[in-house]
Structure 1
Amino acid sequence: MVMNIKNFFWGLSLLALSIVSCSDDDDINANEVPQAVDATFNQTFPNATDIEWEAKNNKYEVEFDIETIDHKALIASDGSIEQYKYDIVATELPAEVTSKLSTDYPNNRLDDSEVLKIGTQTYYQVELENEPQDIYLVFQEDGEINSEVTYFQ
């Protein structure tokens, strides 16, 4: 009976591990990325390292580093870049954004700040610590919140 219980728990552990390992079903190898997407990526970000691809609804999300700075891009299957972002330190935020944060969110600590590029537009997205759920905001360069632009996770 002891052996059967051990086998049961061993099997249950293996099942749980296999379920967890399948959670990254969107991950794909670089050789699975369409040629147009790969060409755009390599032309736009020639110095990219630590490249990881995901397929998402006929689009391709790629995470990568450039000189140790985290980047992420969303590229359509035709090779057009829909948006991309990269990490910045808080001191690189425009003064207008910093002012708005200190005025409107004085009790929330800045957890993350990034530049977000959509077409020719530049935005700044920030994550503020807040209980029970963090606050995600997208700012225009003039410091105004843009609620029409979705925060790019």
Structure 2
Amino acid sequence: MAAFLLVGGIASSSAQDIDQKNVPAVVKAAFSKAYPKATDADWEKKGANYEVDFDLGKVDHKATYTATGKTVSFEKDIPNAQLPAVIGKNIKAKYPKGRIDDVDWINTAGKITYKIDIEGTPDVNVWYDANGKFIKEVAD
């Protein structure tokens, strides 16, 4: 039982929902300055960083900040049609029975990657760099 509680405590400490009032003021200020029209902000603490899921218009976004308010990464949902053609072609070749369900455009310190959710047999999440190079696959 103690091992179960220890593992559960470790797992829950890696990412936990937090109330906006518990987000450092410098982080909230950086977020408000970058996204003044954001709505529906939900905060999580992931390790030492703060992650916020929010909407701009009708588009889902996510931003991650250090405790000092520096942006670590930014991502947003994009229409499937905005996925670079080379990536779409690679996905069709590698997952011929799969269907692209969701595409996230991710900017981490200026490095652009794409996370694509593929429904098929089996469902997977795949990551590609901006040039269409496969990075990794994770079962969904």
Uncovered stretches (5+) of structure 2, i.e. residues with no partner? 1-11
- Name the structure 1 match of 2:6: none
Deviations 1:17-45 (A, max 9, x none): xxxxxx9x922221211012111111221
Uncovered stretches (5+) of structure 1, i.e. residues with no partner? 1-22
- CA–CA distance in 2 between the matches of 1:121 and 1:47? 25
- CA–CA distance in 1 between the matches of 2:36 and 2:116? 27
- CA–CA distance in 2 between the matches of 1:90 and 1:56? 28
Aligned residue among 48, 55, 58 for 1:68:
58
TM superposition score normalised by structure 1: 0.74
Q: Which structure has more strand as a fraction of its residues?
A: 2
- Name the structure 2 match of 1:102: 92
Q: What SS does the aligned partner of 1:26 have?
A: strand
Corresponding letter in the other structure for 1:102: K
Aligned residue among 127, 131, 136 for 1:142:
131
Percent identity over paired residues: 32
1:12-91 alignment, distance < 5 Å: 26-91=16-81
- Name the structure 1 match of 2:8: none
- CA–CA distance in 2 between the matches of 1:82 and 1:146? 19
Q: What SS does the aligned partner of 2:97 have?
A: coil
Deviations 1:99-129 (A, max 9, x none): 1111221111111111011011111110111
Corresponding letter in the other structure for 1:38: K
Q: What SS does the aligned partner of 1:37 have?
A: helix
1:86 Cα offset (Å): 0.7
**CA-based RMSD:** 2.0
The more displaced of 85-94 and 53-62 is 53-62
Corresponding letter in the other structure for 1:99: K
Runs of 4+ residues deviating >3 angstroms:
none
**Aligned residue pair count:** 125
Tell me if structure 1 keeps the 8 A contact 2:75–2:106. yes
Corresponding letter in the other structure for 2:86: E
